[in-house]
Amino acid sequence: MIVAEAVGRALAARGVGTAFGVVGSGNFHVTNALVAGGVRFVAARHEGGAATMADAYARMSGRVGVVSVHQGPGLTNALTGLTEAAKSRTPLIVLAGEATEVQSNFHIDQAALATAVGAVAMRVSSPEEAGSRAAEAYRVAVEERRTVLLNLPLDVQAAPFEGPVDVLVAAAGKSAAPAAGSPAIPSAGPSVAEVGELARLLGAAERPVFIAGRGARHARRELEELAELAGALLATSAVAKGLFRGSPWDLDVSGGFATPLAAELIRGADLVVAWGCALNMWTTRHGTLVSPGAKVVKVDLDPASFKTHVPADLGVAGDVARVAAAVAAQVAPRPGYRSPEIAARVRGEGRWRDVPYEDESGGGRIDPRTLSIGLDDLLPRERIVAIDSGNFMGYPSMFVDVPDEGGFCFTQAFQSIGLGLATAIGAAIARPDRLPVAALGDGGALMGIAELETVVRLGLPMVIVVYDDEAYGAEVHHFGPHGHPLGTVTFPPADLAAIARGHGCAAVTVGAPGDLAGVAEWVAGPRDRPLLVHAKVTAEHGSWWLEEAFKGH
């Protein structure tokens, strides 16, 4: 056995489920060893796609993501996806060949590259380290929730591995990663004083609101129980969308995507408790959703988050589920913010589709709100929705509902366009029980289109919706009103339906609400190939969440 095989075998033995990548000579053996060890390997067509698939897979499966790339350009191609994963604290292991000879065409400083984008760099420097480095990469990825680059120098990879395989396997250990969104839980419980103080604040609050983020996706039951006692209303950040779905007190997403009702009620809170949520500018509309008079509490594994963004008056360090359970033991039931009037308002105006609007469809183009509502009605509820970036992104985020926190995959920490399709692929592989839906702009769709063949090849029953305004709409709406020339950000029409058919997809072009009948036909079955919905959308105005985005630059 050579070292590359030993590393692959060790990771397979550690319980890695699925790996994604593009195979070249420098990662050929390690990838085959993963496969020989029982790992499913998904071949992407671009390393950027592979990295994002692994990221989305990890987010939606709760297992560590693995990416396998060739040295040099294999890694540079993966970088945008890796940056997104690193910023999102996704547990991810990147296996990369490494040309350590500076004369090699493939040589770059791979460790520096990884560090520059927030990942952790490691290297198997000798055959003896094969097992221990693999185990360490796994531990740091899972327990510290980091993106870890494990460099495999070409000469070391090819060297014989002398140690017995069972020693390797034993060194690597054998256990699954924690559940989705649940980071490694420190063994010490939260501080008694902090728990008591949060219980006291909840006992005194008239209008408490909980905002749950990525760090709370595993804690629905505990948070709902505590909210019930304290009379709190429930909201989430975008990445945790769906967490409280079905609760009569669910305000859905807080921030740019919030309904007018959610924004009003969150602003009316006298106590905001952020659970595994940083309260960043997106979740709080630059802080304006938190009333200046409101007390703010943050519960988070990472105390560094207490002072960032909207700062906390009280920080409680610990796992969200544990803290919520401990606090619940000390809170007497009270109505708080919950009343029959509020319940009726949440029922009547709690969803975007309840908010009246004027349908602007016409002239061969469909209003993106009408499109999104139509899709929400037509597509099966057991779905998993992935969203790319751009002006369009709020429409599917706000109007296409999801069944729970496992129904929304939002790879937007780096705000890159072009990640949406690969996100949907990774999510689809994590949740084969759900209909994957990719919502893309025309710009993001064409940037990530290398993976369209992957969708077809894998036989994923995916619905890919392209909100086509023949432009980088975000830029058009930002600069257009000031009279700037827009030739650099506008494009002639492209027949995306024909492109999709060429790849082997079914496709329907939607220029009016009636054209959605084509989607209904596909849904009726047999759904034996993916469907691309090429929606020619109206684009008279920019979106309100876009204004928000540009304020953050």
Ligand X SMILES: Cc1ncc(C[n+]2csc(CCOP(=O)(O)OP(=O)(O)O)c2C)c(N)n1
Least CB distance to ligand X at residue 20 (A): 20
Nearest to 172 by CA among 139, 203, 141: 139
Least CB distance to ligand X at residue 546 (A): 8
Nearer to ligand X, 222 or 468 (CB): 468
Describe the crossing of helices 192-204 and 220-230 by its angle, rounded to 10 degrees.
Answer: 50
Least CB distance to ligand X at residue 305 (A): 25
Tell me if 441 contacts Mg ion by CB under 5 A. Answer: yes
Residues 6+ apart with CB under 8 A from 164: none
Least CB distance to Mg ion at residue 455 (A): 20
Least CB distance to ligand X at residue 473 (A): 3
* Binding segment toward ligand X, per CB under 6 A, in 375-383, 416-424, 430-438, 512-520: 416-424
Nearest to 14 by CA among 129, 162, 133: 133
Describe the crossing of helices 320-328 and 220-230 by its angle, rounded to 10 degrees.
Answer: 30
Tell me if 81 contacts ligand X by CB under 6 A. Answer: no
d(CA 244, CA 238) in angstroms, rounded, equals 12
Backbone angles phi, psi at 276, to 5 degrees: 55, 40
Residue 415 interacts, among ligand X, Mg ion, none and using kind-specific CB cut-offs from 5 to 8 Å, with ligand X
Nearer to ligand X, 236 or 543 (CB): 543
Nearer to ligand X, 26 or 443 (CB): 443
Whether omega before 335 lies within 30 degrees of 0, making that bond cis, reads: no
Selected binder of ligand X within 291, 415, 490, 509 (CB under 6 A): 415
Residues 6+ apart with CB under 8 A from 297: 198, 201, 271, 272, 273, 274, 312, 313, 314, 315, 316
Residue 474 interacts, among ligand X, Mg ion, none and using kind-specific CB cut-offs from 5 to 8 Å, with ligand X
Q: Is 283 helix (H, G, I), strand (E, B) or coil?
A: helix
Tell me if 222 contacts Mg ion by CB under 5 A. Answer: no
Tell me if 420 contacts Mg ion by CB under 5 A. Answer: no
Nearer to Mg ion, 140 or 489 (CB): 489
Tell me if 475 contacts Mg ion by CB under 5 A. Answer: no
Tell me if 394 contacts Mg ion by CB under 5 A. Answer: no
d(CA 152, CA 130) in angstroms, rounded, equals 9
d(CA 184, CA 201) in angstroms, rounded, equals 28
* Binding segment toward ligand X, per CB under 6 A, in 17-25, 162-170, 396-404, 473-481: 473-481
Amino acid at 496: L
Amino acid at 436: P
Tell me if 473 contacts Mg ion by CB under 5 A. Answer: yes
Nearest to 537 by CA among 466, 479, 472: 466
| CB 153, CB 123: distance < 8 Å | yes
Residue 444 interacts, among ligand X, Mg ion, none and using kind-specific CB cut-offs from 5 to 8 Å, with ligand X
Binders in 427-456 for ligand X, by CB under 6 A: 441-444
* Binding segment toward ligand X, per CB under 6 A, in 14-22, 52-60, 156-164, 464-472: 464-472
Nearer to ligand X, 411 or 454 (CB): 411
Least CB distance to ligand X at residue 472 (A): 3
Residue 417 interacts, among Mg ion, ligand X, none and using kind-specific CB cut-offs from 5 to 8 Å, with ligand X
Least CB distance to ligand X at residue 450 (A): 14
Tell me if 442 contacts Mg ion by CB under 5 A. Answer: yes
Residues 6+ apart with CB under 8 A from 506: 500, 522, 529, 530, 531, 532
* Torsion angle defined by CA atoms of residues 253, 258, 260 and 264, in that order, rounded to the nearest 10 degrees: 70
* Binding segment toward ligand X, per CB under 6 A, in 6-14, 335-343, 472-480, 510-518: 472-480
The neighbour count for residue 525, using CB atoms within 10 Å, is 8
Least CB distance to Mg ion at residue 536 (A): 11
Tell me if 417 contacts ligand X by CB under 6 A. Answer: yes
Amino acid at 543: S
Binders in 368-407 for ligand X, by CB under 6 A: 389-392
Judged on CB neighbours under 10 Å (0-12, 13-18, 19+), 541 is exposed
Least CB distance to ligand X at residue 533 (A): 15
Nearer to Mg ion, 110 or 538 (CB): 538
Nearer to ligand X, 130 or 471 (CB): 471
Least CB distance to ligand X at residue 282 (A): 14
Q: Which residues of 409-427 are buried (b: 16+ CB within 10 A; e: fewer)?
A: bbbbbbebbbbbbbbbbbb
Adjacent-strand bridge partners of 298: 274, 315
**Full DSSP string of 486-532:** -TTSB-----HHHHHHHHT-EEEEESSGGGGHHHHHHHHS---S-EE
Selected binder of ligand X within 55, 250, 252, 469 (CB under 6 A): 469
Least CB distance to Mg ion at residue 473 (A): 4
Tell me if 471 contacts ligand X by CB under 6 A. Answer: yes
Nearer to ligand X, 71 or 389 (CB): 389
Sign of CA dihedral 428, 431, 432, 438: negative
Tell me if 469 contacts Mg ion by CB under 5 A. Answer: yes
Residue 367 interacts, among Mg ion, ligand X, none and using kind-specific CB cut-offs from 5 to 8 Å, with none
The neighbour count for residue 41, using CB atoms within 10 Å, is 15
Residue 21 interacts, among ligand X, Mg ion, none and using kind-specific CB cut-offs from 5 to 8 Å, with none
Residues of the shown chain interacting with Mg ion in the complex, contacts defined by CB under 5 A: 441-443, 469, 471, 473
Q: Which residues bind ligand X (CB under 6 A)?
A: 389-392, 415-418, 441-444, 467, 469, 471-475
